Structure 1
Amino acid sequence: MSIAHHRRKQPELVRQQLLEVAARLSLEQGAAGVTLDAVSHAAGVSKGGLLHHFPNKMALLDGLFDDLTGKLDRMIAEEMRNDPVAHGRFTRAYLSCVFALQEDADAQGWQVLTIALLSEPQLRARWRLWVADHADAFVGTDSSAACLLARFAADGLWLADLLKSHDVDPPARQAMRSHLIALSLQ
């Protein structure tokens, strides 16, 4: 009898490991490198174990989307709890999260997800829904043109960081963040 039969089952840890491996493979080899065989092999999980969690590649990408947007929602909620000013509160929380993405432990996953958003219509639709849901939820406090502009600018920074198209030193990043926060208060 193999050790696998005696090992304590930890399905959530296995699921998370599969997501992390898929993110790493995507960054190292591009989206084409994320095959079910490659992910199961690199994670040390049987293909059956992988298929138990993610029956296909799209399900794996959906799992990554759910995992990351769930973490983003929790980060935004935490930032909002600490902000006493209602007007622009969601926008400032979003800005804080986007500016932190570069140093975040999930930065690799965000890079993969952003690349997948560009190529996968289903994920783009889910992201549009996430954006629309949050816009609707904070329509009274964050629907001004200034708040929208601040979030668009943050999205541009997110893309520039992903593409490594601009070298923005920390003082310049902090100045941009300060300007965008000021914009959210208008």
Structure 2
Amino acid sequence: MGRRPSINRDEVLALAERIVAERGAAALTIEAVAHAAGISKGGVQSCFGTKEAMIGAMLDRWFQDYAAGVTAALDGAPGGLAARMAAHLALSLDATDGSPARGASLLAALLQHPEQLHAVRAWYAERFAGLFEAGEAGRALRLALLAIEGAVLLRHFGLARLPPAEWAVLREDIATLIRV
């Protein structure tokens, strides 16, 4: 009897993310992931159980990657409100690793599975933490956060097709709000 091949959960998860990013949330099925990974549907189910659990795992991984990015951007600095918002801006609009598009794709998948929204709401609660108690600076940072999120959605859902130079102008406009 031969040894059972092991399934790399992270690789399967990456393939699931790619399916959502390239073909949309509706294309994410256990069968599609199994086909992309070259394994059986049972193999995918052994990794995640259900499609909803797979989406949850995708979301968890995105949250972990984002947290690591913020930590790296702060580079040991205290991480006040403005520093956190500047890190969020950089991770959301400057990233070249595809993570903002990945986040937008995950959002699309979540809309089909609202039971996962609690995690996203908690993530946004962390982004807004302290911004309502910070006076006038908090007002500018709240507007910056809303502008960042709007830009991410417009850019990564392809709703606004602006040339790179115009995205750079918008990014600088948002950065100005953070520096107030």
Q: Does 1:115 align with 2:108?
A: yes
The 1-side partners of 2:45 and 2:110 are apart by 23
Q: CA deviation at 1:177?
A: 1.8
AA paired with 2:166? A
Of 79-88 and 26-35, deviating more is 79-88
Whether the aligned pair in 2 keeps the contact of 1:24 and 1:108 (CA below 8 Å) is no
Aligned pairs, number: 179
What are the ranges of 5 or more consecutive residues in structure 2 without an aligned counterpart?
A: none
Of 167-176 and 136-145, deviating more is 136-145
Q: CA deviation at 1:138?
A: 7.2
Q: Please name the residue that 2:66 is paired with.
A: 72
Q: Please name the residue that 1:50 is paired with.
A: 44
Q: CA deviation at 1:30?
A: 3.3
How many percent of aligned residue pairs carry the same amino acid? 25
How is 1:37-186 mapped onto 2 (pairs within 5 angstroms)?
37-81=31-75, 86-101=80-95, 103-106=96-99, 109-136=102-129, 144-186=138-180
What are the ranges of 5 or more consecutive residues in structure 1 without an aligned counterpart?
A: none
The 1-side partners of 2:55 and 2:118 are apart by 13
Q: CA deviation at 1:98?
A: 0.6
Equivalent position to 1:32, from 10, 26, 29? 26
- List per-residue Cα deviations over 1:122-173 (Å, max 9, x = no partner): 2322111111134337777697010010011011111111221222222222
Q: CA deviation at 1:39?
A: 1.1
Whether the aligned pair in 1 keeps the contact of 2:104 and 2:153 (CA below 8 Å) is no
AA paired with 1:46? S
Q: Please name the residue that 1:20 is paired with.
A: 14
